[in-house]
C-alpha cells in the first residue's frame, strides 16, 4: 500500500487519520487544503491548484486527505492512482462536535494541517456544508468510487472504534 486517499465530511477526522496512516506506513502526507487555501482564506486559482494536486497525485507514494469533488479533472486521477480509499462516514453530530473541539483546541493559532497564515474559523456556510455533506457529497463520493475506484480496496469507517481497528490492522 503506497497511495492512500482519505475522504469524508469536515470534522470527520480526515487529517488526523491521514497523519496517522502516513506515520505508520512512512509515506509522505498531503492535506489538499494546503494546496487550495492561501493566506486570509483566498482560494488558489483553479489551474494552479489542479497542477499542484496533479503533481502530487503523480507521485509514487502518498497519503492525501480532502474531498474537492467539484474538481473532476483530478478527482478521477486520485481515485485511479490510490491503492486504497478510506471514506469516513461519521454522523453529523460527531462532525459538528469535532469541529467545535478543533476550534477550541486551535483558538488563535494556525492548525498544522491547513495553509500557513490561516486561523480556524467557523461561519454559517461552513456549518451548512457539514450539515449537507451526507445529502450531497456522500452520494458523489460513492458515485466516484463506483466509476473510478470499483477495482480498489474501499474502507468505510463510521466511528472511532472502527478507525482504531483499521489503524491497528494496517
pLDDT of residue 115: 59
pLDDT of residue 116: 63
pLDDT of residue 129: 95
pTM confidence score: 0.91
Residue found under cell 479533472: 73
Rounded to an integer, the average pLDDT of 131-154 is: 93
- Which pLDDT band holds residue 6 (cuts at 50, 70, 90)? very high
CA-closest candidate to residue 69, choices 112, 118, 128, 5? 5
pLDDT mean across residues, the chain: 91
pLDDT of residue 117: 64
Domain ranges of the chain: 3-168
The CATH architecture of the domain made up of 3-168 is 3-Layer(aba) Sandwich (3.40)
pLDDT of residue 150: 83
Of the two residues 112 and 50, the one the predictor is more confident about is: 50
pLDDT tens by residue, 72-123: 889 999 999 999 999 999 999 999 999 999 888 767 666 666 656 667 778 8
pLDDT of residue 143: 94
Rounded to an integer, the average pLDDT of 4-32 is: 97
Rounded to an integer, the average pLDDT of 64-72 is: 93
Amino acid at each position: 500500500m503506497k497511495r492512500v486517499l482519505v475522504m469524508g465530511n469536515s470534522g470527520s477526522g480526515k487529517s488526523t487519520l491521514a497523519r496517522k496512516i502516513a506515520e505508520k506506513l512512512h509515506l509522505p502526507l498531503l492535506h489538499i487544503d494546503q494546496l487550495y487555501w492561501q493566506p486570509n482564506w483566498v482560494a488558489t486559482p483553479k489551474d494552479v491548484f489542479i497542477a499542484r494536486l496533479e503533481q502530487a497525485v503523480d507521485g509514487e507514494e502518498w497519503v492525501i486527505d480532502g474531498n474537492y469533488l467539484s474538481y473532476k479533472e483530478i478527482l478521477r486521477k486520485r481515485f485511479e492512482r490510490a491503492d486504497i480509499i478510506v471514506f469516513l462516514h461519521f454522523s453529523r453530530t460527531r462532525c459538528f462536535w469535532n469541529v467545535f473541539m478543533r476550534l477550541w483546541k486551535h483558538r488563535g493559532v494556525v492548525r498544522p494541517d491547513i495553509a500557513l497564515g490561516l486561523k480556524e474559523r467557523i461561519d454559517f456556510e461552513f456549518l451548512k456544508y457539514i450539515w449537507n455533506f451526507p445529502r450531497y457529497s456522500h452520494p458523489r463520493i460513492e458515485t466516484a468510487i463506483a466509476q473510478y475506484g470499483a477495482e480498489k480496496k474501499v474502507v468505510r469507517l463510521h466511528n472511532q472504534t472502527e478507525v482504531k481497528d483499521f489503524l491497528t490492522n494496517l
